[in-house]
């Protein structure tokens, strides 16, 4: 017998420190005037301060998620850490033991099987897909996906290298730090639950965004061909969305809240008319929160969800679709119906 799965709780935390696009660009020596806010729509982003890193953000998000949950940490059967960055105690990158074990210990999830998953900015949605599969097969009853993204070292390391809007590291200036977590558990009989289409990798575009360790400073560097990446993502997203909607038995116009990966408001707005033409309709609300937080990598969907839950923007019974876009090029979709989640927020 297959079981359904649903989102039971969501949590997110961001650092207190804010850095505006104007302040960041004041340090960048460009040839001619470059407006980062005009290019991306990002006014500011949150940046880790003293004592904050991937680990502290992940733990903070996990604890915030549990605060809204009917479960305690000891009830979790599985914990998956999905962050790109795995910094602990400053700029120390954790490989073994994996970051998931440190988070499990910190929150007291001693029963949970813990492991890490890396799938670039699609990491948390990949973790949800894995949890839903374990739940559907009856292996576990509930689990948590968590991510702490301390990625603004990429911004710092890009500052000396950006000279024009075509600089390959300019996309690094759009990043922000964040922690997010979600608990997925078994559905009640008859509940619609999560509908996942899985993930598709279009490997021929894998060189359009490459990250790695910096050779000159702590942290990393990211080389992005932003325009080509956006064009490839728009082209690849159509078939992925079509399959997801077909599996769900819905049209795009049936989606109440459409949450894409938060790269830039300009990119999201530019994609809307293309989807409208392809699907003959549009989602009722396309969620954009990149203006205040920047691109927070794998946490971006759940930061947006948490914020809308806190603001009471969701209603029970509404259809929500999360769209993954990640380096690789990875595309994926998670669709679900709001089922009791809204009652524990606001």
What is the SS3 string spanning the chain?
Answer: CCCCEEEEEEEEECCCCEEEHHHHHCCCCCCCCCCHHHHHCCCEEECCCCCCCHHHHHHHHHHHHHHCCCCCHHHCCEEEECCCCCEECCCEECCCCCHHHHHHHHHCCCCCEEEECCECECHHHHHHHHHHHHHHCCCCCEEEEEEEECCCHHHHHHCCCCCCCCCCCHHHHHECCEEEEEEEEECCCCCCCEEEEEEEECHHHHHHEEEEECCCCCCEEEEECHHHHHHHHHHHHHHHHHHHHHHHCCCHHHCCEEEECCCCHHHHHHHHHHHHHHHCCCCCEECCCHHHHCECHHHHHHHHHHHHHHCCCCCCCCEEEEEEEECCCEEEEEEEECCCHHHHCC
Q: What is the pLDDT of residues 100-117, one digit of tens each?
A: 999 999 999 999 999 999
Q: What band does 235 get if pLDDT is binned at 50, 70 and 90?
A: confident
| Rounded-to-integer distance, Cα 109 and Cα 121, Å | 25
Q: What is the pLDDT of residues 291-329, one digit of tens each?
A: 999 999 999 999 999 999 999 999 989 999 999 988 888
Instruction: Output the pLDDT for position 148.
Output: 97
| Rounded-to-integer distance, Cα 262 and Cα 300, Å | 6
State yes or no: cis peptide before 97, omega within 30 of 0. yes
Taken in order of first residue, the domains within the chain and their CATH numbers are 5-186 (3.40.47.10), 194-341 (3.40.47.10)
* More confident: 181 or 343: 181
Strands 285-286 and 257-260 turn out to be parallel
Count of CA atoms in the C-beta half-sphere (13 A) of 183: 28
Question: Is it the case that residue 223 has pLDDT exceeding 80?
Answer: yes
In 3D, which of 134, 151, 152 has the Cα closest to residue 143?
134
Instruction: Output the pLDDT for position 117.
Output: 96
Question: Is it the case that residue 1 has pLDDT exceeding 60?
Answer: no
Question: Is it the case that residue 346 has pLDDT exceeding 80?
Answer: no
Percent of the chain whose predicted confidence (pLDDT) is above 90:
60
Question: Is it the case that residue 279 has pLDDT exceeding 70?
Answer: yes
Structure tokens that stand for 136 in this block:
């559907």
304 phi, psi to nearest 5 deg: -65, -45
Could you count the other beta carbons within 10 Å of the beta carbon of residue 85?
28
Q: What is the pLDDT of residues 138-195, one digit of tens each?
A: 999 999 999 999 999 999 999 999 988 888 999 999 999 999 999 999 987 666 688 8
Instruction: Output the pLDDT for position 276.
Output: 83
Instruction: Output the pLDDT for position 211.
Output: 87
Whether this prediction's pTM lies above 0.75 is answered by: yes
Mean pLDDT of the chain: 91
Q: Which of 39-43, 76-80, 232-236 has the lowest mean pLDDT?
A: 232-236
Strands 87-88 and 18-20 turn out to be unpaired
Instruction: Output the pLDDT for position 278.
Output: 84
């Amino acid at each position: 017998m297959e079981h359904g799965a649903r989102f039971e709780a969501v949590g997110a935390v961001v650092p207190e420190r804010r850095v505006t696009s104007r302040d960041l660009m004041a340090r960048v020596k460009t040839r001619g005037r470059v407006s980062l806010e005009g290019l991306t729509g990002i006014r500011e982003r949150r940046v880790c301060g003293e004592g904050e890193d991937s680990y502290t953000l992940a733990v903070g998000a996990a604890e915030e998620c549990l605060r809204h949950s009917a479960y305690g940490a000891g009830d979790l059967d599985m914990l998956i850490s999905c962050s790109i960055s795995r910094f602990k105690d400053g700029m120390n990158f954790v490989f073994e033991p994996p970051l998931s074990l440190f988070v499990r210990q910190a929150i007291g999830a001693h029963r949970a099987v813990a492991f890490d998953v890396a799938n670039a900015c699609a990491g948390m949605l990949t973790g949800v897909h894995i949890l839903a599969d374990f739940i559907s097969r009856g292996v576990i009853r509930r689990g948590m996906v968590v991510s702490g993204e301390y990625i603004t070292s990429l911004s710092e390391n890009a500052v000396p290298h950006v000279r024009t809007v075509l600089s390959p590291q300019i996309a690094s200036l759009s990043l922000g730090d964040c922690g997010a977590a979600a608990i997925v558990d078994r559905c009640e009989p008859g509940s619609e639950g999560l509908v996942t289409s899985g993930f598709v990798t279009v490997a021929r575009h894998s060189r359009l965004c490459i990250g790695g360790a910096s050779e000159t400073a702590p942290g990393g560097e990211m080389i992005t061909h932003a325009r080509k990446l956006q064009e490839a993502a728009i082209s690849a997203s159509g078939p992925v969305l079509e399959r997801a909607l077909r599996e769900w038995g819905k049209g795009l116009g049936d989606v109440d809240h459409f949450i894409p990966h938060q790269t830039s408001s300009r990119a999201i707005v530019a994609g809307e008319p293309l989807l409208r033409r392809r699907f003959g309709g549009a989602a009722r609300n396309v969620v954009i929160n990149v203006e205040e937080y920047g691109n927070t990598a794998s946490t971006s969907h759940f930061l947006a969800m948490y914020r809308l839950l806190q603001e009471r923007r969701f209603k029970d019974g509404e259809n929500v679709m999360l769209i993954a876009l990640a380096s690789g090029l990875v595309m994926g979709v998670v669709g679900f119906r709001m089922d009791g989640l809204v009652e524990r927020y606001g």
